[in-house]
Structure 1
Amino acid sequence: MQSYVNVRHSAQGHPSGVSVLCVSSELCNRLGACHITMCGTGMQRCTLNVTLEQAMILSRNHGLMPRCIMQTMDIMRKQGPRVELSAKNLKVMDQMTPAFPRLFKLCLPPSDGDL
């Protein structure tokens, strides 16, 4: 299934690391584990990972053909909740809360003062 996910290279010519998301997703699914993805801003990479995860679930559990994964992700990114999130980020709809969600705080490593 990995061969159907196009991995773009960074400016330095190295893979962007997207392929590890596919492997970790498959591993978590087979183990029955929870799969949490966090990034520095919480905006772009996490929302992109959500659509990747949804497309892989459609492929794995509901018969979506692997060659349609990229097209499915594009459709979800253009017509799904990401459009609404972009509007929120531009402060068009409403203000997002400045505090981190509770689950995000629990997943962060402890700071020096918390040890």
Structure 2
Amino acid sequence: MSRAILPFTEANSKRVASLFRQALRTAFDSSLKFDAYRAETIKIRAQFEANKHISDPTELESVIAATRAKLAEYAHPDPYFPPCRPGGTKYQRNIPVAREPLVPGDW
């Protein structure tokens, strides 16, 4: 006996919210100016709002799969990483100070 996934559960809300955040990050990676990014975020929000009413679990799964495929298609080849996060330009830039003497020998 298989149970259908109900559309308005907390798990589905989290999945859709995660997809929304991924879409916003993808838009941020591919835009160079804030006004272009803002226009893109408005379009993304409108697309998510248009599918807000879906109550059929199979239709919901197909829309989520299509959204994931679209995100994979539009993924930026060189995404933005905050500088201090792993993968960022400043991550572990300053190497720790050596504890042993820098010049060997007894001065």
TM-score scaled to structure 2, two decimals?
0.31
Which has the larger helix fraction?
A: 1
TM-score scaled to structure 1, two decimals?
0.30
- Point out the structure with max Rg over C-alpha: 2
Higher relative contact order (CA 8 A, sep 6+): 2
